[in-house]
Amino acid sequence: MNAPDRTASRGQDKKTEMQIALRSVLCGPHSLAFGDSESSHYFFTAGHRCCSQLTGLMKTLREKLAKKCALAVSVVVVSAWCASCGKSTSTTSPTTPAPDTLTETFAGTLPVGGSAFYSFSIATAGTVTATLATISGDQVPSSVVVNLGIGTLSQFTCAATPTAVQISGTAGVPTQVSASEQPGVYCVIISDIGNLFTPASFTVTIDHPLKAAS
């Protein structure tokens, strides 16, 4: 063999070695002889089988990944469906809260055979309640019965329908009077019905709406 042929043969051997080394890195080592056609044929056959195995492995991994993704999506869908099933579809009607109320105190002295009144105003319709809280004085028992009423101002007095009230005792009368009123100015009047022998100190509480329900 002349020198050019040997140089070409060595170049071919180097190329084959590099191909085998590269294939070994990718697909594992192969015990092949360099430079002969049989080995070269085996190299490509083995390389083809190795790449085929890698392709099959990648396909299997993709199939497993697709199954896991499908399972995860199914779990999310089922969880959302269960959560929606657990929620009640019934609705409740809103309740209207009671209007805010204000308590005013009417305190003074009730003369024998006389009366006393107290005026106030309300900004919204509602129930007004006047309660005889205390009554006392010299020879004035807590069981004394007096009149109490809710009305409107009339010149220099309070025009109201009187109701007998008593804090405690056996008279069988209430301690308070109530009335449903519209916005406006009103009054509470307390009067002696002939049961006092001396002036009496008293306290009356007045509960009325302060503002409309919110």
What CATH number corresponds to the domain at position 174? 2.60.120.380
Q: How confident is the model at residue 34, as a pLDDT?
A: 40
Q: Is residue 214 part of a domain?
A: no
Q: How confident is the model at residue 25, as a pLDDT?
A: 44
Same domain, 144 and 47: no
**pLDDT over threshold 60, residue 167:** yes
Which segment, 10-14, 43-47, 106-110, is predicted with the most confidence on average? 106-110
Percent of the chain scored above 70 by pLDDT? 52
Same domain, 28 and 109: no
Sign of the torsion angle spanned by Cα atoms 9, 14, 20, 22: negative
Token pair 């056609």 in the structure block, residue: 37
Pick left, alpha or beta for residue 162 (phi over 0 → left; psi -120 to 50 → alpha; otherwise beta).
beta
Same domain, 195 and 110: yes
**pLDDT over threshold 90, residue 195:** yes
Same domain, 105 and 201: yes
Supply the pTM of this predicted model: 0.54
Q: What is the DSSP letter of 140?
A: B
- Angle, helix 3-27 to helix 37-86, in steps of 10 degrees: 20
Same domain, 129 and 200: yes
Same domain, 144 and 72: no
Q: How confident is the model at residue 65, as a pLDDT?
A: 60
Q: How confident is the model at residue 82, as a pLDDT?
A: 52
Q: Is residue 93 part of a domain?
A: no
Same domain, 112 and 33: no
Same domain, 113 and 194: yes
Count how many residues are written for the chain. 214
Band (pLDDT 50/70/90 cuts) for residue 210 is confident
Q: Is residue 94 part of a domain?
A: no
Lowest mean pLDDT among 66-80, 86-100, 103-117: 66-80
Please write the tens of the pLDDT for every residue from 151-166: 999 988 999 999 999 9
Residue 26 or 58, more confident: 58
Same domain, 122 and 186: yes
Lowest mean pLDDT among 28-42, 44-58, 97-111, 191-205: 28-42
Same domain, 41 and 122: no
CA 147 – CA 132 distance, rounded (Å): 10
CA 32 – CA 45 distance, rounded (Å): 12
Total count of domains within the chain: 2
Give the helix, strand, coil percentages of the chain, each rounded to 5: 35, 35, 30
CA 57 – CA 79 distance, rounded (Å): 33
Q: Is residue 111 part of a domain?
A: yes
Residue 127 contacts residue 165 (beta carbons within 8 Å)? no
Same domain, 69 and 133: no
Q: Is residue 70 part of a domain?
A: yes
Query: Domain limits at 37?
Result: 3-86
Same domain, 82 and 136: no
